[in-house]
Amino acid sequence: MAAGLKKISGFMIGLGLATPLVCLISTAALAGPREQAAQLFSRINTVPPSAATLDALAAKITAGDARGAAMDAINDPAGMFYNLTLKDAVSRWTTKDGSPRIDLNDYTATVIGMVRDDVPFNTALSADLVYIANAAKASGVPAYSLANNAHYQFLDKTAASLKDVLIQVKQSSGTTALPVDATAGLMTTRGFAEGFIKAGTNRAPAAFAFATFLCQDMNKLADTTRPDYHVRRDVTRVPGGDSAVFRNKCAGCHAGMDALAGAFAYYDVIEGTTADTDALAYTAGTVATKMNRNSDQFPDGYVTTDDSWANNWLIGQNAAIGWKGAAAGNGAKAFGTMLTATEAFSTCMAQRAVATMCLHQPTTNAELAAVTKIAASFAKDFNMKNAYADAAVVCTTP
């Protein structure tokens, strides 16, 4: 080191000037297998590894098996990947503002269970499944119900190991069962209903399904070239007295969204005395009143009479989503199947995995390249655990 200079807190100080040390010595050159192992485990589990675990992970990385080390970290017996990292990430999917400050619910628990069990994630929006606690491993847990969240609040309060207690059951089983045809995976959990089906006009469940699972919000999807024959009566055609505003702005979202939202026509939430006692309700053949409310805004608008839906975004700018499924159908199950068949679904899930492990949305060339690579792999097996493991390696490789 040059005379008169000394290293202080990562800077070279001398002659009254400060030069970042990174300009002189590569940070990556200082990182070895143990440093990478420590960071890999911490990114996956949110907590540092034990000495023995660190040794084992470092040995795998030294042997060129960083992917294996990541999988070992995910499968760590303490289960912090599931109880902390994954729970925090998925809780954000269940709220309109993306906040993780929400009790555990059946939506979050079902994602956690599917990831743990390697359930193909392209069934996440269509399967007849939900994850609940095994009563034998969670003594005293209240029964699961679509009418309250007591089951999952108990797991939160008792700090239950989600890695160990969750089991898969059918949504169509039990005392609060949905008809098999009405089950649509995550979209027919009570947690999803509380977040997006409650109140409103049932446009939100369609909009947030796009945002969460295709990474496409309404601002991206808005396309004023699409026909507006499905826009409902509650949307005025002359906002502010100017019909051009509707055609050049409002129709951009509503032409597509209203045509798809019919998938949720038979679903509603019966509000309880508190949010924790709101109940998901499904009535086959009966359109929820809110679907056709405020009809006086434009009486000639579309009237929802069943749970049919149509995809008006197959052509135009939204063709880039990579549609492969049906162009029309009935109900939430068929709608969910269409979404998870898209190319955008695989890309979005890869993007979410990288964002979770890198602690920010992918922006660098390496991160964006990783999204592309992980998405291609995910599209073959739809395994989210593999996606998280691959992302963790990318985000911690020097």
Domain boundaries, the chain: 6-61, 79-197, 218-328, 345-396
Q: How many CB atoms lie within 10 A of CB 233?
A: 19
8 Å CB contact between 383 and 115:
no
Please compute the mean of the pLDDT values over residues 344-352 and round it to a whole number. 98
Residue 288 is which amino acid?
A
- Residue 175: pLDDT band with limits 50, 70, 90: confident
Which two tokens mark 9?
């807190």
| Rounded Cα–Cα distance for residues 47 and 37 (Å) | 12
- Closest Cα to residue 146, out of 180, 82, 191, 184? 191
The fraction of the chain above a pLDDT of 90, given in percent, is 91
Assign 3-state DSSP to the chain and report helix, strand, coil percentages, each to 5: 50, 10, 40
8 Å CB contact between 331 and 195:
no
| Rounded Cα–Cα distance for residues 82 and 289 (Å) | 39
- In the block, tokens 């990947």 appear at 81
At 224-273, the pLDDT tens digits run 999 999 999 999 999 999 999 999 999 999 999 999 999 999 999 999 99
Sign of CA dihedral 108, 113, 116, 120: negative
Angle at 374 between CA 368 and CA 380, to 5 degrees: 145
Rounded to two decimals, the pTM is 0.92
At 121-156, the pLDDT tens digits run 999 999 999 999 999 999 999 999 999 999 999 999
| Rounded Cα–Cα distance for residues 355 and 211 (Å) | 15
Predicted local confidence at residue 111, as pLDDT: 98
Predicted local confidence at residue 327, as pLDDT: 95
Q: In 32-105, where does DSSP find H-type helix? A: 33-45, 51-62, 66-74, 80, 87-91
Predicted local confidence at residue 105, as pLDDT: 98
At 83-119, the pLDDT tens digits run 999 999 999 999 999 999 999 999 999 999 999 999 9
For 36, the 3-state DSSP assignment is helix
The fraction of the chain above a pLDDT of 70, given in percent, is 92
- Residue 26: pLDDT band with limits 50, 70, 90: very low
- Residue 325: pLDDT band with limits 50, 70, 90: confident
Average pLDDT score, the chain: 92
Predicted local confidence at residue 174, as pLDDT: 86
In this predicted structure, the answer to whether residue 170 has a pLDDT above a threshold of 60 is: yes
| Rounded Cα–Cα distance for residues 334 and 263 (Å) | 8
Residue 39 is which amino acid?
Q
At 8-18, the pLDDT tens digits run 333 333 333 33
Residue 15 φ/ψ region, left for φ over 0, alpha for ψ in the -120 to 50 degree band, beta for the rest: left
Please compute the mean of the pLDDT values over residues 322-343 and round it to a whole number. 97
Predicted local confidence at residue 154, as pLDDT: 98
Please compute the mean of the pLDDT values over residues 42-66 and round it to a whole number. 98
